[in-house]
Amino acid sequence: MRIAKFLASCGVASRRKSEVIILEGRVSIDGAVITDLAFQVSESMDVELDGQPLKQNTKTYFLLHKPKGVLSTMSDPHGGEFAIDLIPGGREKGLFNVGRLDQNSEGLLLFSNDGDWANHIMHPSKGILKTYLITVKGEVMDSELRELTAGIEDEGDLLKAKVARVVHKRRFETVIEVILNEGKNRELRRMARAMGFHMQRLIRTQVGPVELGQFNPGFSRELTKEELQQF
């Protein structure tokens, strides 16, 4: 196994960030500093990062109902509450978030220590669908829903929903189900802004075969074998 992949499997960082760590001379194998990114690690070797021994984590996969106001990032210079810390032992397991939800969004967020699986989930070519419920102020017209699925130009990107349909109409607000298959940065908020919608709530309810269900914010659990097999 290449050295960067080994570091990623230990939960150190992504492969790309692990390469930077290696090139900085922070990794040693059997007592010798290694900066060759092509170096192959075998099971019999002792690998250390900054003098601390590393070992591969058992691959594990979690979902979390991220509450509003909690950060998806692993750290932040300004502080705050982090989603990873809502999963018991999440940091010790080497978990990292697979995709993101911004601080003001809530709902289903996946975590794993399996970099290859994470790349599979996030790569646009895989077309893994993500379902959201957005609550906007006022009434939404059918023509506006058609515009969401036809595509909206924003900052050089074509933002396009696979599905957009009204699920609830209340006196002063509308709840819309939106399904995306790419997930560009802050895509739904950019779409809402371009449409002139005043968004009041954004919650992700499903990623691929995994559904959020009726669990309260802060709830987490491991994914089932059946869910993993469906990705």
- Whole-angstrom CA distances from 52 to 29, 47, 55, 127 are 11, 8, 10, 39
- 141 & 160 share domain: yes
How many Cα neighbours within 13 Å face the side chain of 219?
10
Same domain, 178 and 72: no
Q: CA distances (Å), 33 to each of 47, 175, 226, in order?
A: 10, 56, 42
| Residue positions annotated with a catalytic role | 102
Is the same domain home to 217 and 116?
yes
Phi, psi of 71 (to 5 degrees): -85, 140
pLDDT of the residue at 94: 83
Query: Do both 21 and 41 map to the same domain?
Result: yes
Q: What is the pLDDT of residue 70?
A: 97
> Do both 87 and 120 map to the same domain?
yes
- What's the CA gap between 207 and 180, in Å, rounded? 10
Residues 67 and 47 in one domain: no
Q: At 96, phi and psi to the nearest 5?
A: -140, 160
Domains held by the chain: number: 3
The set of residues, in sequence order, having a beta carbon less than 8 Å from that of 216 and lying 6+ positions away, is 65
Last residue of a domain, one of 13, 35, 53: 53
Same domain, 70 and 46: no
CATH number, domain at 192?
Answer: 3.30.2350.10
**Domain end position, chosen among 14, 35, 53:** 53
Residue 153, exposed/middle/buried by CB under 10 A (0-12, 13-18, 19+)? exposed
pLDDT at 104 (0 to 100): 95
Rounded to whole angstroms, how far apart are CA atoms 61 and 73? Answer: 17
Residue 125 confidence (pLDDT): 86
Q: Quote the CA–CA distance of 131 and 165 in Å, as a whole number.
A: 11
Structural domain containing residue 71: 61-124+210-230
Q: Find the helix packing angle between 187-195 and 142-150, rounded to 10°.
A: 130
| Statement to judge: residues 84 and 183 lie in one domain | no
Instruction: For residue 164, list its beta bridge partners.
Output: 178
Instruction: Read off the CATH number of the domain in which 90 is found.
Output: 3.30.70.580
Pair 114, 216 in one domain: yes
Query: Are 32 and 78 within one domain?
Result: no
Same domain, 226 and 113: yes
Provide the 8-state DSSP code for 54.
Answer: -
Do 67 and 112 lie in one domain? The reply is yes
For residue 36, what is the domain's CATH number?
3.10.290.10
Question: Could you tell me the mean pLDDT of each successive run of 10 residues in the chain, 231 residues long?
Answer: 87 84 96 96 93 89 97 86 95 89 96 88 90 96 95 92 95 95 87 95 97 95 96 91
